[in-house]
Structure 1
Amino acid sequence: MTRGQIILRGLAALTGLMAILVGIPALAFTLGATPESLIPPLHGDLLIALHWAWQDGSLLTWLFRVLLWAGWLILVAQIAREVFAHLRYGAAVLHQRLAATGPRAWIASLVSSVILMAGTTSNAAPATPTTIVATAQADPSPATPNGDGAQVTVAHGDSLWSLAETHLGDGNRYPEILELNRHDIQNPNQLRPGQQLRLPTDAVQLPARSPLAYQIDVQPGDSASTIAQREYGDPAHWHRIWEINHHRPQPDGRVWRNPQIILPGWKLWIEPAHNAPESAHTTPRPTDNTRTPAPPPSADNDHHASPSTVTLPSGAVVGIGLATAVTALLIIGRRRRRARRKLPGTLHGRSEPRSSSPTLRALEYAALQAPAAEERRWTWPPNNAQLTAHTTAGRPVSLDLAANAGIGLTGPGAPSAARAIIAGLLTTDSLHPGQVIIASELLADVIGISDSQGITITDTIDDALTTLETELARRSRLLAEFEPDLGDDTALWRAYQDSDPAEALPEILLYIAPSRRANLRLEVILTLGRTRGIHGLLHGPWPTRLEIDDSGTITGATGHDLLGARLETLGPLEAADILATVNAARAESPAEPDEELPPAPPPPSLPAAAPVRLAVFGPFRIYVNGKELDSGLRKLSRELMAYLATHPGGTTLDTLQDQILPNTPFDKAKSQIQTAVSALRAQLRSLTGDADAAFITYRVERYQLDPETVTTDLIELDHLIASDEPSTSLIELCRPGEPLADDLYSWAEPVRESIRQQALNALLHLSRNTEGHQAIDALDTAVHLDPYAEPVYQRLIQLHTDSGNPNAAFAVYRQLRAKLADIDSEPTAETDALLPIRRPRPHR
């Protein structure tokens, strides 16, 4: 509330008080109800006088005059009492007045408004000889520690004693504050309001809030409990309001000292309902004395850092959560393609690896560098849809869309932010994935999104609202039949979802442009729907609104304090890449078309006795003179060896930097790679005893493995395929399993797929040219190499059926079903047709 509003309210309250104090007596005199007329005409016996007064009607007139003056006196006494309470005790009794009902409450409101207008700043009488006041920080965000500790702002009436008592727990410690601020305090007995003072590092009771907190105005009759009831749905949460607002300066110059006492016109910060408050009572502030030193940077850990944001090639920024979700969908999509891929069983060379788009590569790289999280598939009930921003310090903050009946996005960055929010909802791996409804094709064109898995684009706004009204009615009906009464609608909704996971009740996000004709209807849907899993994102102004610039930075906000934070954003092409990933992971994949495979490679030369052998099948391993080198090797050196082992033709320094260290500046990456190669050579020379061996050569600006000293199992694979007579050696070569298994290299998946395809076709070829257990062993190895390749299972089922072993055939089929269920798929009709028919046994 502005100062002008306070003055206007105070003038209105003063008019009301004058109407009571002067208007009622004036009305009484006008009606002839003077104080003298209150004396009853007693002539003789009292009973006889009352009898005649009743008969002629004068008794009622007299009673009316008595009640009029008695009521006026009561009001005057009440006003005097409130004025005395405010001037003598400050706010010490105001909470009790405003918490009451009837005349007592509105009289207290009138008095408080007049006093606020007058700017009275008196408060409770001090308990010590000095003037005691509380302190507050001028800025609503937490105080920032400096070299001497936290900073606070002096409020009216503060003293060094009161500061020490409030923040240090003992008034006798006031000399410590004086010593820290000796050059800033002119008179220790009189502090200036608004003055910034430093406190010792162990100061407590420093209010803190998250960047998502928003302000409300205290209204007459409000208390901490009633505000908690209104904002959180539970009056017991009043302490959350107290913890982030106590000792904060208010517009009238006062501060909040007592949790039971607040004044109309004050501004209080409110944490969103889903955010736990940061309390200075429970979480100590970090100081120089307790800070844990960070480990020194090294070439090995520099490129494995895991920031909370990912910068895409276009400059857009998203969170690591979206990167992880997209990477999980990428893995599922790849497995689904492998399941439907055709395997002709021919001998061929390795096809050229197909790289992902730059956007997907950046997201996958960031996800692989992030700390491993517990794998959770098809979570239920789902989390509320979130809008995620990142502070200048890099800390993510989330705004729960369910806490608002719609959020409007405006400014040039609104379409980019909308794409990121939509992508975040669609990529969440839920039992029933989220759905997005875009109201009109025109709006879909604005953000560059077309029909996709999980997205519905309606022809008109009315069509979108009608769809949501129908869904809202269905959800409300289901909830009405649900017995538990948990009080909170959102908790009740989650409990219902948890009670019947088979009922498809996904999170729904409506993306719509505000329309005067439809706004009332829209507001009803979003108000009711926010506790039913239906949320609104509006392309335009709305009561709760964020204004976003081109970079995604929030430059204006209503309802939430997010100024300066940067929203996650996506460009049209980046969003298209992510939506294509969603389609590949969730839409039913058709059979992969026939692929033109490269011819079989010429027989490579096998070194007679290379001292170093690199094994690509299974986890990447390095053998020196037949013994595995499992320790003492830099991570970057190991990754370089793996990359060169899978690229026998060698590669340039530019390519190595792009594939292995994509987020590292070229000069720094060049230095790290050269250091890793040097360290690798030194270690291998020491282990082999060959001081002249290079192991990795650098000729014509290309790094390559030295074929005289290093061999790989891929060279052996090429030799077996080129001989056109794969033998049991092929089975042993592939038995360790998937190439580069358990190695989280961002460049590895396309290479892994190329090697896997070559080996699978070679094993299928071997199974068709051998019989019995050797053929089955080849196919079992192929299943271990790719547990999702349905053509391999088909061949294995056929072999068991032809050999008269139906139980083994059904066991293989069950294994296939279990694997395909992991990617939300199932065997094709072609596979079902291969199963032997179980004939009923004849009765004996």
Structure 2
Amino acid sequence: MHSRRPIAAALTSALVLAALIAGPPVILLGFLDPPHIPTRAELASPGDPVLVVNALLATAWLCWLMFTWSVLAEVVQRLRNAPERAAIRTPFQRLAAHLITTIAISAVAPAPQAFAATSTVAAAPADAPTSAKEDATAKAEAGQQHKTYRVKPHDTLWEIAKRHLGDPMRYREIVKLNEGRVMTDGTTFTSEGWIRPGWLIRMPTDATELEPKHPQKPTAPEADDEPVHVVRQGDSLWNIAERHLRNGKRYGEIFKLNKGRPQPDGRRLTDPGQIETGWHLRLPGRVPSSPPEPPPTAEPVKVLKSVPDAETQGSATPRVTQTPAGLPAPAVPGVSIALPGGGMVGLSFAAGIAIALAAARVRQRVRRRVPEATEAVQVVPVPKPEPAVQAAEEAYRKANEPVADDYDLVKDSFTTEPPATLDVGVRAGENVTMDLPGLNLCLTGPGAEDVARALFVALIAQAEAQRVELVAPRDDAIKLFGDDLETLALHLPGLTLTPTFDDAVTHLASERINRAELLQDAEANDVTELRENRPDELIPALVMVGQLTERDPSYLESFLEDAPRFGIGAVLLGDRLPGARCEVGADFRASAEGDLDGVDLFRLPQQEAITFLRRIAIQHGHKDPATEATGEAAEVPEVEAPEVEVPEVQSALNTARFRLLLLGEVRLEIDGEPIDIPTAKGLEMLVLLAVHPAGQTKEEICAILWPDVEQPQAGYRFHAALSDLRKRLWAASGSNRKLTSFIGAENGTYRIDREHVWIDLWEFHAALADARKATDSETKASALDRAAEVCRGHLADGAPYLWIDLDHRDPLTLASVRALLQLGGIHEKAGRPKRSLEVMEQALALDPINEAAAVAVIRLLTGLGRRDEARLRAQHLTAHLASLDLEPTPETQATLRQLHSHLRG
């Protein structure tokens, strides 16, 4: 649109225009001589100042002429309503067009209406009347016909009217049709504001060449039709292809279909790695038939907190199936997660929990100590988290395969930017979000408390690094979560418990005043702009959670009206804020006036909610007796801990023709030469049987390798994969069934041939067993040296097997690091610093953030006189600890002081 102050903008533009047209001639003629044609003598001396001044004067006059020509051309264009600009374009054309357009629009702009530039999103429809007069106006507008247009970047009402109505002066009709309507981002359309990309504005019925609001898709597409996917936050072409085409590698087909197509925001897809939320991507019409899915009746559209446009409301997508009253809606695969205790959460919630678990494991890895020579090192299973936590983490892993290492996951997830939206539920198979700044919900009904718990925990999971602050009255919080919350509160980031409800409201009011002062000092319009202008100011999203029943809401309601500007919101239980009221049924389906109506809301029963809060608190230092077994205390003495399955049988000799290497990248060798196993399932079957030396039944193997395929199809796949694997191994080795089957079967149990196949994993287990039996440190060191020799890396490093991570890879990595630390300590005490250094380096290769190994390497390098290397390692260790917000242990500090004294000496 035009300027927020039309008269001021017109006067300013007129003054600038007059100054640029009249000013240069006055200055050039009044104070300087006019330029003249240079003489032959002046041309003979190009460095002569007279010639230089003459050239500058000629340039200045030329620029003035070009600008004056541009102004005249724009004036003629406006008077003639010319559809195109002048044929002769100058470098000053855009400046002239801006000035003339501002003057022209402002001069004829309608009188400003009594609408605020921005407003809090109400729960009622965008055009809902609030008085009898407004009701009559709304009915009159409802009878009028109009079209819609989605605003693109750099659009102005003048250009839109010229392009689609044939007359730029008809922009006033567009203003009249849209004045006072709430747009999709929650901003009210006014004659004094700017239009923004993505808005849906009404247009007169004779508007031409308008793009449809949403791509049209038949309700029953034929096989060759192209369905459409609306991009959600976090989507990539790979996971879209996996979700809809059952194969992430087909992302190239989606890119090819959509390359260069205009999107709703005016941009185009040019890079497969760059897609934006809200884009509409065509999908290949032919998708795999297994497993079949019923086609949707209409295109699902992501729902935001803002009040929908009237046209959007009229085309709301009906559900394919209806959940019977009183029964919770089932989770939607890929969008929501059903928890064992009856809760349902979104993938963003699962991401927060997965990061919390990874952070706790990383802190344990950092602080893992060097075992004494007398301790027994063995493979100990990693304790599994509670069922709800495990379900959330597994869902996250499946949605983000392959998952990054714990340290990388924690490090890459760190940010101080507050979340912009909050996932609240699911509708029509799509995630539903609400804007977090100005979040205003008043929940009532039988399912209200479970929904409030889910929103509370979701915000706590994102509150690290001062991103979110939750304020709750103590009694209300304990009523929601139970007495356990008292012990967890000190270790829950961003949580402030106040003595009373009034104290919580006072806290919000005080913070509002503080933020208002910050906005005034920074000359910013809202908190978002303030964060951009002052990134060093950490201003969290502030949300109050409490019980509103029987409490006076007037004071709270008074400053929630402009809460979005200050980044403040509230989630309350009760029905005393009519504009924010949301009825939550026993089936957790929302009934509200606005976007939440019909949404299946996320929810958490009290027990599951406190379980998640406990996990988040442990991440931030809470010591919980039920989970202490996962920490360092469980490591001494390990001999009392249950072991992971360890082979009691010996594999073939190290000189055997067939060697399967699993510690590091998976590799199969015959006579020392690597061979390729083209079938992925065949290789995975080989790895599975190697980590289960006692063997597996066909049913057990099928449950792991083909979990989504039922019998007898899974059995067919098993026999086909096994037969193909054997044939390929026979062909590669020149062997046959009589010499070895490679994988034998006995009483329905399949296991690897122990006489002909040597496996490094089995050798590692055997070496650890010998070390545990050793009666002196030298014998133990000899056995551990054998283990170190085969320990090339993580179990099946790089193999994307979800089943191997927690059950096998993590316990083995823990045992390997402990064995190497113990071996390094034995060699150091025995006076073999070079060998000790090699072993400690090997331990760091497996676990680069282990503080004890890093300190040992620094100490050994210093003792060997390699002080520059020691200083570099010290810098790396300090950086690792700082990235995790950890302080060095006293032993580390002593080693660093010793290094510094050596460097100074």
What TM-score, normalized to structure 1? 0.62
Contact 1:368 1:744 (8 Å CA) reproduced: no
What CA distance in whole angstroms lies between the structure 1 residues aligned with 2:499 and 2:137? 58
Which has the larger displacement, 536-545 or 340-349?
340-349
Contact 1:617 1:741 (8 Å CA) reproduced: no
Confirm or deny that 1:357 pairs with 2:357.
no
**Partner SS for 2:384:** coil
1:419–1:744 Cα change, 3 Å: farther
What CA distance in whole angstroms lies between the structure 1 residues aligned with 2:671 and 2:498? 67
Contact 1:364 1:746 (8 Å CA) reproduced: no
- Displacement after TM superposition at 1:778 (Å): 0.5
The residue correspondences of 1:322-721 to structure 2 (distance < 5 A) are 322-345=349-372, 346-371=375-400, 376-392=412-428, 394-404=429-439, 406-428=440-462, 431-448=465-482, 450=485, 451-452=488-489, 453-454=492-493, 455-483=495-523, 485=524, 487=525, 489-496=526-533, 499-501=534-536, 503-541=537-575, 542=577, 543-554=579-590, 556-558=591-593, 560-587=594-621, 592-593=632-633, 594-598=635-639, 604-608=649-653, 612-624=658-670, 626-630=672-676, 632-634=678-680, 636-651=681-696, 676-688=721-733, 689-691=735-737, 693-699=740-746, 702-721=749-768
Confirm or deny that 1:227 pairs with 2:219.
no
Which residue of the partner structure matches residue 164 of structure 1? none
Which amino acid in 1 is paired with 2:426? H
- Displacement after TM superposition at 1:546 (Å): 2.5
**Partner SS for 2:522:** coil
Unpaired runs of at least 5, structure 1: 1-95, 102-108, 124-132, 137-168, 170-220, 247-255, 261-277, 300-304
What CA distance in whole angstroms lies between the structure 2 residues aligned with 1:440 and 1:341? 37
Which has the larger displacement, 768-777 or 666-675?
666-675
What CA distance in whole angstroms lies between the structure 1 residues aligned with 2:394 and 2:748? 26
Which residue of the partner structure matches residue 811 of structure 2? 754
The residue correspondences of 1:69-218 to structure 2 (distance < 5 A) are none
- Displacement after TM superposition at 1:384 (Å): 2.1
Tell me the alpha carbon deviations over residues 712-761 of structure 1, each in whole angstroms, 9 at most, x when there is no partner: 22211123334431365544422335664563515512422321222223
- Displacement after TM superposition at 1:242 (Å): 8.6
Contact 2:548 2:574 (8 Å CA) reproduced: yes
Residue in structure 2 matching 1:280, options 176, 187, 212: 212
Confirm or deny that 1:766 pairs with 2:766.
no
Which amino acid in 1 is paired with 2:545? Y
Residue in structure 1 matching 2:288, options 279, 282, 296: 296
What CA distance in whole angstroms lies between the structure 2 residues aligned with 1:435 and 1:122? 47
What CA distance in whole angstroms lies between the structure 2 residues aligned with 1:438 and 1:664? 47
Tell me the alpha carbon deviations over residues 192-239 of structure 1, each in whole angstroms, 9 at most, x when there is no partner: xxxxxxxxxxxxxxxxxxxxxxxxxxxxx9751332589515546779
1:285–1:474 Cα change, 3 Å: same
What CA distance in whole angstroms lies between the structure 2 residues aligned with 1:549 and 1:569? 12
**Partner SS for 1:438:** strand
**Partner SS for 2:337:** strand
Tell me the alpha carbon deviations over residues 99-119 of structure 1, each in whole angstroms, 9 at most, x when there is no partner: 889xxxxxxx999988999x9
What TM-score, normalized to structure 2? 0.58
Question: Which structure has the greater CA radius of gyration?
Answer: 1
What CA distance in whole angstroms lies between the structure 1 residues aligned with 2:142 and 2:815? 83
Which amino acid in 2 is paired with 1:642? V
What CA distance in whole angstroms lies between the structure 2 residues aligned with 1:467 and 1:113? 39
- Displacement after TM superposition at 1:336 (Å): 0.9
Which amino acid in 1 is paired with 2:792? R
Contact 2:342 2:605 (8 Å CA) reproduced: no
Which amino acid in 1 is paired with 2:842? T
Tell me the alpha carbon deviations over residues 301-329 of structure 1, each in whole angstroms, 9 at most, x when there is no partner: xxxx9722323334533222222332233
What CA distance in whole angstroms lies between the structure 2 residues aligned with 1:329 and 1:842? 41
Which amino acid in 1 is paired with 2:447? G
- Displacement after TM superposition at 1:419 (Å): 2.5
1:734–1:121 Cα change, 3 Å: closer
Which residue of the partner structure matches residue 92 of structure 1? none
Which residue of the partner structure matches residue 793 of structure 1? 854
Tell me the alpha carbon deviations over residues 333-370 of structure 1, each in whole angstroms, 9 at most, x when there is no partner: 21111112334154533123422333233223222222
Which amino acid in 1 is paired with 2:522? F
1:530–1:709 Cα change, 3 Å: farther
Contact 1:384 1:533 (8 Å CA) reproduced: no
- Displacement after TM superposition at 1:514 (Å): 1.1
Residue in structure 2 matching 1:826, options 887, 890, 902: 887
What CA distance in whole angstroms lies between the structure 1 residues aligned with 2:614 and 2:505? 27
Which amino acid in 2 is paired with 1:232? T
1:627–1:396 Cα change, 3 Å: farther
- Displacement after TM superposition at 1:386 (Å): 1.0
1:135–1:783 Cα change, 3 Å: closer
What CA distance in whole angstroms lies between the structure 2 residues aligned with 1:745 and 1:231? 42
Which residue of the partner structure matches residue 303 of structure 2? none
**Partner SS for 2:413:** coil
Contact 2:784 2:820 (8 Å CA) reproduced: no
Which has the larger displacement, 786-795 or 656-665?
656-665
Which has the larger displacement, 647-656 or 540-549?
647-656
Contact 2:376 2:639 (8 Å CA) reproduced: no
1:841–1:775 Cα change, 3 Å: closer
**Partner SS for 2:793:** coil
Q: Calculate the aligned-residue CA RMSD, in Å.
A: 4.4
1:545–1:120 Cα change, 3 Å: closer
Contact 1:354 1:750 (8 Å CA) reproduced: no
Aligned residues between the structures: 607
Which amino acid in 1 is paired with 2:497? I
Which amino acid in 2 is paired with 1:428? Q
Contact 2:178 2:202 (8 Å CA) reproduced: no
**Partner SS for 1:481:** helix
What CA distance in whole angstroms lies between the structure 2 residues aligned with 1:668 and 1:227? 57
1:726–1:533 Cα change, 3 Å: farther
Contact 2:463 2:469 (8 Å CA) reproduced: no
